[in-house]
């Protein structure tokens, strides 16, 4: 049909308005034209009209029940809407119609993967690879499934196969780099980690500066812009490198998130500290903060671990001194949730209901360092909420100076405590971030940190029980022994 060919040309060229008009013209004359219904549904999906997309593709299936592609694409949309059981059913039906449909098998694996059925997902990806050994996406997805199961060497092999099949496959390079960093192979991991800028998740953070990125060459007094990326915790972790850039001969200009401005001003020798999003001064080179590890060729044995490398501003110290800190009990600060925008937030954050067991430990005063939504903590029970006394992380840092211990999930609070050299216990979910490495209860980045890991996915109760037991054991002594606390204006 000439009209359909014309519509397809518009569609494939990205001219969706013209393509939609052409499909609708066909449907005016042929209301049961299955291909037009299906393709119009794909346009609705592409433009965010998912309910309409589902209606149109279902109608196409009613007209032509034997088309495997229709079922596959409807499964994709249903899966994106969180209807995983329905998506699985549609993919399985697509495979009954056409067993060699690699798209359906790959998407079936993805649905299993999203719902945590990693073994079933692995089986699907392997079936695709039996038919097409150079299927880059299947190698990549298999690697992700193997990584989730803890088979890290096999995962790295799968990512490498994906890169062999498609050398410019940015997602596979980044995934390989993350597992290399996770397993301590920093020499290979940092270069692959640089591929993050070509991955859709990070593309919006790309800074298209005319000036080149610094790669570790002599600086010779040139002005270098160091700029934050990703979250506050990432910025805090890599601010340790600022003084090293200065020592390498750079005149440092530092751009950070607003919440870190006052803390950043305490780093000695910086020429300018700029809030993220503000106009930038002139500079000769730039470097994202997280790329400094590559520039300095950091290995597991050469991580700069001197703490504290961040310091509390005097005005924040003075504000913290105004509150009546209890002096007769151990003081513990708590943070149990991070930003909801974080890709792993559902895994890394703890419900307040689970946390209650911890704050009932006797002879300890608990302080909430949590900012924003409290995840069900409307009644903080015997915990002191410091949120009303906190404008930014400088205030939080000043409060930490009066605490004996900080207990936090993997969020900026944990990084801040580590950067200040405060005793900090970090609670980690099973699929913990690469920076915490594997099977360690200490941190390669923060010498005052102790790690408490989940043993089963989603089981925070066991972690909290261990922390509560350890708190009771650690502080079962004279409460006057409080080495982690500073109740004066010491910086």
**Could you check whether 223-296 and 314-477 share the same CATH topology?**
yes
Q: How far apart (Å, rounded) are the C-alpha atoms in residues 393 and 311?
A: 11
- State residue 481's pLDDT score: 52
Token pair, residue 225, equals 């812009």
Tell me the CA end-to-end span of the chain in Å, nearest whole number.
Answer: 77
3-state helix, strand, coil in the chain (%, to 5): 50, 10, 40
Q: How far apart (Å, rounded) are the C-alpha atoms in residues 395 and 282?
A: 31
List the chain residues with pLDDT less than 70: 339-345, 372-381, 477-491
Residue found by looking up tokens 């790959």 in the block: 106
Q: Are 290 and 234 in contact (CB under 8 A)?
A: yes
Write out the CATH class of domain 1-199.
mainly alpha
- State residue 484's pLDDT score: 59
pLDDT single digits (tens) 136-174: 999 999 999 999 999 999 999 999 999 999 999 999 999
| Helix H or strand E encompassing 7 | helix 2-12
- State residue 477's pLDDT score: 57
- State residue 340's pLDDT score: 65
b/e per residue 142-160 (b: at least 16 CB within 10 A): bbbbbbbeebbebbbbbbe
- State residue 205's pLDDT score: 82
Long-range contacts of 126-133 (CB under 8 A, 24+ apart): 128/102, 131/100, 131/102, 132/102
The domain defined by 314-477 carries CATH number 3.40.50.2000: yes
Nearest alpha carbon to residue 112 among 147, 71, 145: 145
Q: How far apart (Å, rounded) are the C-alpha atoms in residues 177 and 1?
A: 48
Q: Which residues partner with 251 through β-bridges? A: 223
Q: How far apart (Å, rounded) are the C-alpha atoms in residues 127 and 8?
A: 31
- State residue 480's pLDDT score: 45
- State residue 427's pLDDT score: 97
Q: For the chain, give every domain's residue range.
A: 1-199, 223-296, 314-477
Q: Which CATH number fits domain 223-296: 3.40.50, 2.60.120, 2.60.40, 1.10.287?
A: 3.40.50
């Amino acid at each position: 049909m000439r009209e359909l060919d014309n519509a397809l040309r518009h569609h494939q060229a990205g001219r969706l308005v013209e393509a939609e008009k052409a499909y609708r013209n066909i449907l005016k004359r042929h209301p049961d034209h299955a291909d037009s219904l299906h393709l119009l549904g794909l346009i609705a999906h592409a433009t965010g009209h998912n309910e309409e997309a589902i209606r149109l593709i279902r109608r196409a299936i009613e007209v032509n029940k034997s088309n495997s592609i229709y079922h596959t694409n409807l499964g994709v949309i249903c899966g994106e809407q969180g209807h995983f059981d329905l998506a699985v059913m549609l993919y399985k039906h697509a495979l009954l119609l056409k067993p060699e449909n690699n798209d359906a098998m790959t998407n079936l694996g993805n649905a299993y993967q999203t719902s945590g059925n990693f073994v079933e997902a692995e089986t699907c990806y392997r079936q695709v690879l039996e038919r097409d050994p150079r299927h880059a996406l299947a190698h990549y997805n298999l690697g992700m499934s193997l990584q989730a199961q803890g088979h890290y060497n096999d995962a790295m092999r799968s990512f490498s196969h994906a890169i062999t099949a498609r050398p410019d496959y940015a997602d596979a390079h980044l995934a390989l780099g993350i597992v290399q960093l996770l397993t301590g192979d920093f020499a290979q991991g940092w270069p692959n980690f640089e591929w993050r800028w070509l991955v859709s998740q990070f593309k919006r953070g790309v800074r298209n500066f005319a000036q080149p990125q610094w790669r570790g060459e002599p600086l010779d007094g040139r002005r270098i812009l160091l700029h934050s990326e990703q979250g506050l915790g990432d910025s805090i972790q890599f601010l340790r490198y600022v003084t090293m850039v200065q020592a390498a001969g750079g005149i440092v200009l530092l751009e950070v998130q607003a919440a870190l401005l006052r803390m950043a001003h305490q780093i000695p020798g910086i020429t300018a500290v700029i809030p993220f999003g503000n106009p930038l001064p002139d500079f000769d080179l730039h470097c994202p903060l997280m790329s400094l590890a590559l520039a300095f060729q950091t290995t597991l044995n050469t991580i700069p671990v001197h703490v504290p490398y961040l310091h509390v501003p005097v005005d924040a110290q003075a504000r913290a001194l105004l509150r009546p800190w209890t002096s007769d009990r151990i003081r513990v600060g708590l943070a149990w949730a991070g930003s909801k925008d974080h890709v792993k937030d559902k895994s890394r954050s703890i419900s307040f209901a689970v946390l209650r067991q911890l704050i009932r430990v006797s002879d300890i005063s608990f302080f909430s360092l949590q900012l924003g939504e409290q995840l069900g903590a409307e009644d903080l029970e015997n915990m002191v909420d410091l949120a009303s006394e906190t404008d930014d992380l400088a205030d939080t840092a000043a409060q930490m100076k009066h605490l004996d211990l900080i207990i936090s999930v993997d969020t900026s609070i944990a990084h801040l405590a580590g950067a200040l050299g405060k005793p900090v216990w970090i609670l980690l979910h099973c699929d913990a971030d690469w920076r915490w490495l594997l099977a360690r209860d200490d941190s390669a980045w923060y010498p005052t940190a102790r790690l408490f890991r989940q043993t089963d996915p989603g089981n925070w109760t066991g972690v909290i029980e261990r922390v509560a037991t350890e708190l009771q054991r650690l502080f079962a002594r004279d409460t006057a022994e409080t080495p982690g606390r500073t109740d004066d204006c010491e910086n």
